[in-house]
Chains A and B, each alone.
Chain A
């Protein structure tokens, strides 16, 4: 046995392992996905469940394509992404202000720790009833809920990032004659990037779940409904394939965002050896 990493897999038949493992990753996952969809189709074809409860992959694909063609699904997706981006933007802005205070003063640091300890474990949608009471049935309530869900992971990560910057790097920066401003922009910010990115990732995950949940609860956001509304609405009219199509869209967007974060990380902190991929 050459290395520890192969020790586990050698238990399986050698040839099968090699054949599957040698395939490129995209092909492996595409095949698995195709198998899952085939299972799904087989279940629907054989069991023929109530069409008001369960949809076949074909029907879902049809609903998905129709949704994009007539613009309902596209509009819903765009609405959700827009609200989410704005909410995270507001959250990040507030987080940066809090982080600056937390970095500059001890009382700011304590305040941030306290607020994060209280508000971070709170599921985003939990404040939705209050938000509706304060802002009414509109986008502002959604933005408030999303911002609240994203401020804390961003603030705590960025301030940890600044606080844990290797002091030797700061000393080098001062030694080569950096001004205070450039010490922040050229040393502290890139050195804190791994934490900032992981904060943003958490913020995105929190915000994403929160916005869908909030849309499901009270439907309308702004002029158009978002994806959560799309799903709820389809359910009301018993358009089960549309419900599934909405879920598929949510899953696709999730994969897309995770991929974008992956690309961002590979181009920056992984490339610089600040995070092992």
Chain B
């Protein structure tokens, strides 16, 4: 078992060009992101470079306001970087699209006028599936997320956790190249959050979906992730990319050591982050 921290520090190269691998599905290359405020232009992400391989689960973690959500929005194609490029499967992410399906943090990301089944089936029909095929596929993904019994309900009849499951089913049904999740469990209670983390992990292992997951919870990162990209600083940059595949269950010493390490890394920014909902 790995005990030395250096083993866990995989790639950390901020000066030179990012390491290139042919397998990389998502390539974030010297990306700068910012936004306009009444006082002028604010740079949120100073420079970020990393790559995500197919079927990999990558967690972007950082303190509030470090631009991790902005980064996810740029990958989704909602905003354009001011510098650098983001490519998914070799194509620049210039506009939003179902190949980068997003699960948002907000519970009200479902269409309230559609049933649970239709919320999952409708995006499939938009993307060319026939009504029957869309319904069949939607049913199987609702099965996968344990929501078959709620197929005919409307979103307002669901709990927050169920709504997020529907959102997950909807994005998985689209069979995206990469699944983007923006703190989807951030508004859930601790128990539901832990359960959804475990379920998401097992679902992703079954569907072999590539994941980019944004959170500020270290435990969430350790439970879900293969690798963790730590963002920090103002404007932020990639502080570290850490492999967490082998940290083991939450009660193992490696897990504890990694947790302390990430905590220290994030504490450098002088902000104690809330750790709600760790398993």
B214 interface hit (Cβ, 8 Å): no
A175 contact set on B, CB distance < 8 A: 76, 96-98, 100-102
A174 contact set on B, CB distance < 8 A: 78, 96
Partner of B111, one of A177, A187, A268: A187
Known: A168-B108, A272-B113, A274-B113. A176 touches B155 (CB 8 A): no
Residues of chain A from 161 to 197 with CB closer than 8 A to chain B in the complex:
166, 168-169, 171-172, 174-178, 182, 187, 190, 193
Write the nearest CB–CB distance from A228 to chain B, whole angstroms.
39
Query: How far apart sit A187 and B101, CA to CA, in the bound complex (Å)?
Result: 17
Query: How far apart sit A169 and B114, CA to CA, in the bound complex (Å)?
Result: 12
Residue of A nearest to B123 (CB): A176
Known: A166-B108, A168-B106, A187-B111. A177 touches B127 (CB 8 A): yes
- Contact-residue size bin, chain B (C-beta under 8 Å from the other chain): 20 to 34
Residue of B nearest to A194 (CB): B112
A190 contact set on B, CB distance < 8 A: 111, 113
Query: How far apart sit A190 and B112, CA to CA, in the bound complex (Å)?
Result: 9
Write the nearest CB–CB distance from A276 to chain B, whole angstroms.
10
- Residue pair A177, B108 in contact (C-beta under 8 Å): no
B258 interface hit (Cβ, 8 Å): no
Partner of B126, one of A169, A182, A268: A182
Residue of B nearest to A271 (CB): B154
Query: How far apart sit A178 and B122, CA to CA, in the bound complex (Å)?
Result: 11
- Residue pair A273, B157 in contact (C-beta under 8 Å): yes
- Residue pair A169, B113 in contact (C-beta under 8 Å): no
B104 contact set on A, CB distance < 8 A: 168, 171-172
B98 contact set on A, CB distance < 8 A: 175-177
Query: How far apart sit A81 and B74, CA to CA, in the bound complex (Å)?
Result: 54
B109 interface hit (Cβ, 8 Å): yes
- Residue pair A272, B154 in contact (C-beta under 8 Å): yes
Residues of chain B from 73 to 112 with CB closer than 8 A to chain A in the complex:
76, 78, 96-98, 100-102, 104, 106, 108-109, 111-112
Residue of B nearest to A166 (CB): B108
With most chain A CB atoms within 10 A of its CB, the pick from B113, B126, B127, B156 is B113
Residue of B nearest to A187 (CB): B111
B229 interface hit (Cβ, 8 Å): no
- Residue pair B155, A273 in contact (C-beta under 8 Å): yes
Partner of B101, one of A176, A178, A268: A176
- Contact-residue size bin, chain A (C-beta under 8 Å from the other chain): 10 to 19
Q: Mark A55-76, 1 if CB is under 8 A from B, else 0.
A: 0000000000000000000000
**Main SS at interface, chain A:** helix
Known: A175-B97, A177-B98. A273 touches B123 (CB 8 A): no
B174 interface hit (Cβ, 8 Å): yes
Residue of A nearest to B99 (CB): A177
- Residue pair A176, B109 in contact (C-beta under 8 Å): no
B127 contact set on A, CB distance < 8 A: 176-177
Residues of chain A from 258 to 277 with CB closer than 8 A to chain B in the complex:
268, 271-274
B102 contact set on A, CB distance < 8 A: 171-172, 175
Query: How far apart sit A272 and B155, CA to CA, in the bound complex (Å)?
Result: 8
Partner of B109, one of A168, A178, A182, A272: A168
- Residue pair B155, A169 in contact (C-beta under 8 Å): no
Q: Mark A221-243, 1 if CB is under 8 A from B, else 0.
A: 00000000000000000000000
B76 contact set on A, CB distance < 8 A: 175
With most chain B CB atoms within 10 A of its CB, the pick from A168, A176, A187, A273 is A176
Query: How far apart sit A193 and B111, CA to CA, in the bound complex (Å)?
Result: 13
- Residue pair B108, A169 in contact (C-beta under 8 Å): yes
Write the nearest CB–CB distance from B35 to chain A, whole angstroms.
15
Partner of A273, one of B96, B100, B126, B156: B156
Write the nearest CB–CB distance from B144 to chain A, whole angstroms.
19
- Residue pair A178, B154 in contact (C-beta under 8 Å): no
A residues near B (Cβ < 8 Å) are 166, 168-169, 171-172, 174-178, 182, 187, 190, 193, 268, 271-274
A190-B111, A273-B154 are known contacts; what are 8 more A-B pairs with Cβ within 8 Å?
A: A166-B108, A168-B109, A171-B96, A171-B102, A174-B78, A175-B76, A175-B101, A273-B157
21 contacts between A and B (CB under 8 A): A168-B108, A169-B111, A171-B78, A174-B96, A175-B96, A175-B101, A176-B122, A176-B127, A177-B98, A177-B127, A187-B111, A190-B113, A193-B113, A268-B113, A272-B113, A272-B155, A272-B156, A273-B154, A273-B156, A273-B157, A274-B112
List 4 tightest A-B contacts by C-beta distance, closest first.
A273-B156, A176-B123, A174-B96, A272-B112
